[in-house]
Structure 1
Amino acid sequence: MSQRTKSRIPGTSRLRGRAAVLALGLGASAAVGAGVAVAADATSSAVALPASAAASVQQQATAQAKAAKAAQAKSEAAKKVAAGQTAAKTAASWVDPVKKYKLSASFAQAGKLWSSTHSGQDFAVPSGTAVVAAHGGTVVKTGGNGAGDGPAYGNAVVIRHSNGTYSQYAHLSRIDVRSGQTVGTGQRIALSGNTGNSSGPHLHFEIRTTADYGTAVDPVAFLRSKGLSL
């Protein structure tokens, strides 16, 4: 009985040894497999990162391009608004009725040349000097006899403006506009002269609250309020 037991022990030991070796081999294989899997994952990550970075760079570039385009559009819109404001300001401006002048008889000045006081501002210029509309508007009166205001004015033109005022130009040698005509700021309407009750060539200029004589206000003060320096 004991001999049989002893004889079986070595075989059992060999079986256990083989099992241990097999287990060790399986463990090593598992370890090697795990290592390969880890290496494979590492390789996959290494390949994926550059693609992700490239996508991020592309997104940033696209966003920057959109922002630049939006900024350019905003800039162009601002320029258009500024241009529109400049055009509106120019359209709303007043100008001197003649160039290279000397102020002579002034508004409300007393003298023997007028029945009461002077009703406008005289601009001393040679005959034939271009007379322009001080502001855009519609011609409402034109012709000799002061365009209906009396022979003292000679040839005259009266323009109605959108702000409710009227401008009058008198002692003209020639008239280049007709009643009902629309004129722009700075457009030539006549040539200066010495017609009517005049002591020498000049332009008589008035600012009125109506189209007719007797409603004049100080034209120099008015033009200065519009930004002109006379």
Structure 2
Amino acid sequence: MSKRTQPHRPGTSMLRKRAAVVAAGFGVSALLGTGAAVADSADATALPGIASSSVEAQATAQAKAADNAAKAKKEAEAKAKEAEAKKKAAEEKKAKSWIDPVKHYELSAGYSQGGSMWASGHHSGQDFAVSTGTNVMAAHSGTVVKAGGNGAGDGAAYGNAIVIKHGNGTYSQYAHLSKIDVKVGQQVTTGQHIALSGDTGNSSGPHLHFEIRTTADYGSAVNPVSFLKKAGVSV
């Protein structure tokens, strides 16, 4: 008896394969969709953390800027105080110091120099040869105790004169002036303008007659050049 063979239907096998592929495709799409949803969910969860980090970073930056500003302010204040202290120290040093009463001079008649020009037979101060109108300065800080013509009371030979009393009990005198620019009782500082040099009184030419005294009056003079050199002035 011959065997019956089943008729072959190639179309059926192909349809099954196609169905399987389509099904698989749906599965992959579903899987991918799920993954995307999970990813979206993760991103949404991460957003609050990112925002928080940004706020914290901004706050940190602001705090640092504030600290830097405060530090800069303190440094500026410290520098200002230091500068003020240096200025004050310089002023105090200047007040304690002595200077030449004029600038750009030549020394002429010296202290105790003999001659018939002087009533006592000798010179009571140091002459600084300068032209008329030269700025005359206080050699040291103090109080004006004499100022005027006739040697401010010390005699006509001095012409217009000024006497300043200093804190250490020393007096300085400035004579033969063409102009006096201070008054009795006035406080003056080292280097302050007090007069203009001249040729008044018993004078052989324009110059400043300068004395250092132990009292305000004539007759108490000491060597002014030696005094100034001891005070650190290069005469």
Given the alignment of the two structures, is residue 86 of structure 1 paired with residue 90 of structure 2, yes or no? yes
Q: Comparing 207-216 with 179-188, which one deviates more in the overlay?
A: 179-188
Which of 124, 134, 146 is equivalent to 2:129?
124
Q: Which residue of 2 aligns with 1:220?
A: 225
Aligned-residue offset at 1:169: 0.7
Count of equivalent residues:
192
Given the alignment of the two structures, is residue 192 of structure 1 paired with residue 192 of structure 2, yes or no? no
Local SS of the residue matching 1:223: helix
Paired letter, 2:123: H
Aligned-residue offset at 1:116: 2.7
Give aligned-pair identity as a percent.
Answer: 57
Local SS of the residue matching 2:143: strand
Question: TM (normalized to structure 1)?
Answer: 0.65
Rate the CA distance shift 1:177–1:70 in 2: closer, same or farther, 3 A.
closer
Rate the CA distance shift 1:143–1:76 in 2: closer, same or farther, 3 A.
closer
Q: Where in structure 1 are there 5+ consecutive unaligned residues? A: 1-62
CA distance in 1, matches of 2:74, 2:148: 58
Given the alignment of the two structures, is residue 206 of structure 1 paired with residue 201 of structure 2, yes or no? no
Given the alignment of the two structures, is residue 167 of structure 1 paired with residue 172 of structure 2, yes or no? yes
CA distance in 2, matches of 1:223, 1:199: 25
CA distance in 2, matches of 1:182, 1:134: 13
CA distance in 1, matches of 2:136, 2:129: 12
Paired letter, 1:91: A
Local SS of the residue matching 1:141: strand
Query: RMSD between aligned alpha carbons?
Result: 3.4
Question: TM (normalized to structure 2)?
Answer: 0.63
Mapped contact 2:177–2:195 kept (Cα < 8 A): no
Aligned-residue offset at 1:70: 7.5
Q: Where in structure 2 are there 5+ consecutive unaligned residues? A: 1-66
Aligned-residue offset at 1:191: 3.2
Rate the CA distance shift 1:77–1:204 in 2: closer, same or farther, 3 A.
same
Rate the CA distance shift 1:209–1:64 in 2: closer, same or farther, 3 A.
same
Local SS of the residue matching 2:154: coil
Q: Which residue of 2 aligns with 1:103?
A: 107
